Amino acid sequence: MFKNVIVKTPGKSYLNGLTTSDLGKPDYEKLLIQHKNYIEALKKCGVTVTHLPASEEFPDSTFVEDTAVLTPEFAVVTNPGADSRNGEIKEIESVLKGFYKNFHYINSPGTLDGGDVLQAEDHFYIGISDRTNEEGARQLKEIVESEGFKGTIVPLKEFFHLKTGITYLGNNIIAAAGEFLDHPDFEEYEKLIVSSKDEYSANCIRVNDFVIIPKGYAETKRKMSEAGYKTIELEMSEFQKHDGGLSCLSLRF
Ligand code: CIR
């Protein structure tokens, strides 16, 4: 069960943030509405929302997931791999001080984005991507192992972040797309297969009794319902334009 989430309103500078997509410029008004709906959906899932105000200084800082890795017992403050995002960790660390005593840190030359970390029960999967380097992944593996968890490092082939293509749904089930469909590291899991046309919906979030999925992916929605999940669909177009998905917009713990 998650009790808490941290979210952060996107600032106007979001429009100048990082992206690799060619989906066009985000519409700021729509973005704010989508963010508000995201918060409402989380509340419906029964969590307490800590809502941080926008920072114009950090255009991508609404994607709070990248700044920390959280469990009920400890917090890891990451070292985000994009220079323009690295300073985001200061605010998040001070907010987390209100919830945690036990802190770990990813230190340079190690870099790590929280989007590259998937927790499935007591097992952390740590992607190596353009943002998370081998040293950062190695440091996180050492940290989680020191806390009694398992750690597996997964070099990525195509996805932006590890969780761009995979979600842990609980009960040994993952939603997986692309390179994770036949990946040896995830062989032990039962899979909800996300087809290539629905690939964006592989980034969804299980929050207590619900799975929040992006709107417009009928096949994924149907598969989720058939598997017995209650879903909440959210329009994510303006976040997708900047490579963001549902997991990126919150820290859940
Ligand atoms: C970035 O490039 O950092 C942002 N535009 C998107 C971050 C998405 N975060 C995530 O998948 N955890």
Interval between CA 20 and ligand 1 midpoint (Å):
10
Query: Sign (positive/negative) of CA torsion 154, 159, 165, 167?
Result: positive
Residues whose CB is less than 8 angstroms from the CB of residue 33 and which lie 6 or more positions away in sequence, other chains included = none
Work out whether strand 210-214 and strand 48-52 pair parallel, antiparallel, or are unpaired.
unpaired
Interval between CA 82 and ligand 1 midpoint (Å):
9
What pTM was estimated for this model as a whole? 0.97
Which residue from 88, 143, 147 is spatially nearest to 113, judged by alpha carbons? 88
Domain holding 112, by residue range, is: 4-252
% of the chain with per-residue pLDDT over 70: 100
Query: Which contiguous run of DSSP H or E holds residue 7?
Result: strand 4-8
Confidence (pLDDT) at 168 = 98
The values of phi and psi at residue 129, to 5°, are -135, -165
184-219 exposure pattern, b = at least 16 Cβ within 10 A, e = fewer: eebeebebbebeeebbbbbbbbbbbebbbbbeebee
Confidence (pLDDT) at 180 = 98
Which residue from 167, 235, 154 is spatially nearest to 203, judged by alpha carbons? 167
Q: Which atom of ligand 1 is nearest to the CA of 116?
A: 12
Confidence (pLDDT) at 139 = 99
Q: How confident is the model at residue 141 (pLDDT cuts 50, 70, 90)?
A: very high
Give the number of domains in the chain: 1
| CB 17 less than 6 A from any atom of ligand 1 | yes
Confidence (pLDDT) at 163 = 98
Q: Which of 19, 60, 89, 239 to mutate to test the pocket of ligand 1 (most atoms within 8 A of CB)?
A: 60
| Secondary structure letter of residue 27 according to DSSP | P
Confidence (pLDDT) at 159 = 97
What is the residue-wise DSSP string for 143-162?
A: HHHHTT-EEEEEE-SS-SSG
Q: Which atom of ligand 1 is nearest to the CA of 20?
A: 2
Confidence (pLDDT) at 98 = 98
What gap in Å lies between CA 27 and CA 237, rounded to an integer?
9
What is the residue-wise DSSP string for 207-245?
A: ETTEEEEETT-HHHHHHHHHTT-EEEEE--HHHHTTT--
Q: Which atom of ligand 1 is nearest to the CA of 164?
A: 11
Confidence (pLDDT) at 37 = 99
| CB 238 less than 6 A from any atom of ligand 1 | no
Q: How confident is the model at residue 192 (pLDDT cuts 50, 70, 90)?
A: very high
Indicate which CATH number applies to the domain containing 187. Answer: 3.75.10.10
| CB 15 less than 6 A from any atom of ligand 1 | no
Sheet with 48-52, edge to edge strand ranges: 48-52, 4-8, 251-252
Q: How confident is the model at residue 99 (pLDDT cuts 50, 70, 90)?
A: very high
Instruction: Identify the residue whose C-alpha is closest to ligand 1 atom 2.
Output: 18
